[in-house]
Amino acid sequence: MSNVMRQVRISGTGMYVPPRVVKNSDLEELMETTDEWIRQRTGIEERHHADPGTGPADLAYESSVRAIEAAGLEPGDLDAILVASLSPHHDFPGVSSFLQDRLGIAGCPTLDLRAQCTGFLYALQVGQLYVASGLYDRVLVCGAEVHSTALDFSTRGRDVAVIFGDGSGAVILEPSEDAERGILSVHLHGQGEHAKRLWVEAPGSSFHPRITHEMLDEGRQYPKMDGRFVFKHAVTRMPEVLHEALDHNKCSIEDLDLCLFHQANLRINEYVAGQLGLPPEKVYSNIQRYGNCSAGAIPMLLDECVRGGRVAEGDLVAMAGFGSGFTWGAALIRW
């Protein structure tokens, strides 16, 4: 490690969703909901669900190989693997261990981070510091979720079940030769007092035993959300932390070329964009097609923008997210 911090850039991106598309009309068959309600309240039209036998490490593998290839690297070139996920492949070890195995490599450290929908931004900051410090040169940062295996598809769980989807996104971090280009800063926050406003209670190691048949019968293994409360905090915290990132870098909203918000609800993001005075052409959304993929959402957005030619060299790109914990954060990148 050196005493001089290095500038860090994203050298490759990738994303993957499982092939099975679940339309709002498919959910109408399972619970009391309507395509109209889902579109109006969330903007979501469809999402992808993994088939049996496919877990988050498998989605992570697909997005990671695309990112590794885009960076012109081989899996064996990686110095560290970071995975953000709230949906573990198994209870332990973490998704990153299974991902390493699927990548066919051994030796480099593997680390899981749990910061739910802000997970990718948390992992991005850790990866940035790994590379900036000189400790590692090539770090894989991946967000991956299989939500569909843990949702209550009865009417009881409809508020949560309709918004989540399965998917993964990944980036490769490397030192930047250009001191002006790369990750300018990442800003993270948390407020644990609201942990139970959006959570999955069981199984939990605080229970003895962690899970019982009674708990399963009561549906305590399904996510519960105080939707209105979460909505209210999301539309406050995202603009706040985005301004923090802009102020830190002496930039303004007008300087932004592209803004990537966590994809939890299109209405949240429309409201936030309005609050910030961001014109629609500077905000890219894909929640209509994928639902909320939690830690996978922001790197999935980024990959679609990179491959779709929506990001040009020199562009100022902002990312902001909010999620369970509560956790929230923002990143500013000079592309």
Report the distance separating Cα 200 and Cα 147, nearest Å.
Answer: 12
Does the protein bind ligand UT7 through residue 35 (CB under 6 A)? no
- Contacts of 259 by beta carbon, 8 Å cutoff, 6+ apart: 242, 273, 276, 278, 282, 283, 284, 317, 318, 319, 320
How many residues sit close enough to ligand UT7 to count as binding (CB under 6 A)? 20
Cis peptide before 209 (omega within 30 of 0): yes
Q: Which of 48, 269, 292, 305 is catalytic?
A: 292
Does the protein bind ligand UT7 through residue 153 (CB under 6 A)? no
- Which structure tokens are listed for 184? 């300018």
Q: How far is the CB of 308 from ligand UT7 (least distance, A)?
A: 23
Report the distance separating Cα 100 and Cα 95, nearest Å.
Answer: 9
Site string for ligand UT7, 261-300 (x = CB under 6 A): ---xx--x-----------------------x--------
Map residue 97 onto helix, strand or coil: helix
Q: Which is nearer to ligand UT7, 41 or 194 (CB)?
A: 41
Q: How far is the CB of 241 from ligand UT7 (least distance, A)?
A: 14
Does the protein bind ligand UT7 through residue 301 (CB under 6 A)? no
Does the protein bind ligand UT7 through residue 201 (CB under 6 A)? no
The two beta strands, 316-323 and 258-261, are parallel
H helices present in 162-308, as ranges? 213-218, 227-248, 266-276, 287-290, 297-307
Q: How far is the CB of 113 from ligand UT7 (least distance, A)?
A: 16
For the question of residue 292 being annotated catalytic, the response is: yes
Report the distance separating Cα 245 and Cα 35, nearest Å.
Answer: 37
Q: How far is the CB of 171 from ligand UT7 (least distance, A)?
A: 20
Q: How far is the CB of 110 from ligand UT7 (least distance, A)?
A: 25
Q: For the chain, how many helices (H) and strands (E)? A: 11, 13
Does the protein bind ligand UT7 through residue 119 (CB under 6 A)? no
Active site residues: 117, 262, 292
Binding positions for ligand UT7, rule: CB under 6 A: 33, 37-38, 41-42, 117, 158-159, 162-163, 227-228, 230-231, 234, 264-265, 268, 292, 323
